[in-house]
Structure 1
Amino acid sequence: MPENAAVDVVALAREAGWTVAVAESLTGGLVAAELTAAPGASAAFRGSVTAYATELKHRLLGVDAELLAREGAVHPEVAAQMATGARDALGADWGAATTGVAGPEPQDGRPVGTVYVAVAGPAGGRGPLPPSPQTTPGPDESFADRLARYFAHHGTVEGGTSVGNTSGAGDTEKRSVTGLTGARGEKILALRLNGDRTEIRRDSVRIVLGLLREELITRARAQDTEEIGGT
């Protein structure tokens, strides 16, 4: 599981001159708390929107109302639109978002532990991100691949809790991750997490920050390559 990702995110963003914004649902401000605790955060972190209520995702972040009515708040494209909405609403270069079901009860037909996190990169005039390893084979292992390997090799949630969901839902599925791409190029991870409410939220925070860190690194490397090629 990624550690110290918030510190890396702030350092990478500062070095590149980027800013970051966050939209949170199930994590309730925990991602923003991690970022603001990192040294130098004031130079890179624009702010956050905690849109816990479903209608606020539309009103504050511009998530499509028909999508919310049809699919509910726990959906990969909702996460993608939240990330883009946070980026645009708060005037940042990057947006990150979390939405999901931490428990103790299912939501909108989604079981406890269903989580979607997303990252939206800079908009307009900066060129697209390089192809994602999730959709284009390549020599580099993606963050989703590394996370899947971590899940496969760790039979317990950090701290020693059984992989079985302890929220009372009775679910014993293993943790899993799938990499997706949003309608506007956002990077999304579809997650199945275990543990109680606190553990699911904690892991969601670590994972979205890890994804954001990877996307910052990927973008910075692409820009460095372009600059070298242009000289």
Structure 2
Amino acid sequence: MDLFKGAAKPLDDPDLPRIGHRIDVGEDELHAVLDVETRGSGFDSEGRIAMLFEPHVFYRELGPGPLLNRAVAQGLAYKRWGERRYPKDSYPRLLAAMDIDENAALRSCSWGLGQIMGFNCKLAGYDSARAMVEDFRHDEENHLNAMVTFIISAGLDDELRRHDWDGFARGYNGSGYKKHGYHLKLAERYRWWQGKPDTPWEPEAYTCGPVDPLVAT
């Protein structure tokens, strides 16, 4: 089994309004988040889950000890974000990191459409980072459901409904969001999508369908 490649099914048109309905937002708000996080694609050109390995997170996840020393020696872990440039493809780094500690490596990446950090897997509805990755292989719908679950768990759904882009970016991207202009990018992409027609969708048409385990309470 290839952990990172599966059916790689893209979103269906109704997925955005249907999943957005969980938190009473439309597809424009979700489109804005997806555009800023991954430019709207949850898989790369090789069909693998869109992923960015973060060496500074790997440093933290490993903690002091021989495994960290090994990772530092191989250039896979360093203390502060931005010490080195990201490579064009993060997968070779990830595979090398997994040889040191698979769980810590998977927790040290951002994954999928919403670029959810592996260490946030439980907030996204999964028992482990590996379980999240295995689920993400199959369908971008799973990415989007996990992103909305994370937004709910992190208490950011109110900010998204209010279009409080500063508040949302602070919670979703961290305290350095202004340095990278995440709040401005979110606002710009939301305005752009507002000018596009929405996908026709009515909640009533889905009330008799299969129960979504991430939605059911």
Q: What TM-score, normalized by structure 1, do the two folds share?
A: 0.25
Point out the structure with max Rg over C-alpha: 2
More helix, by proportion? 2
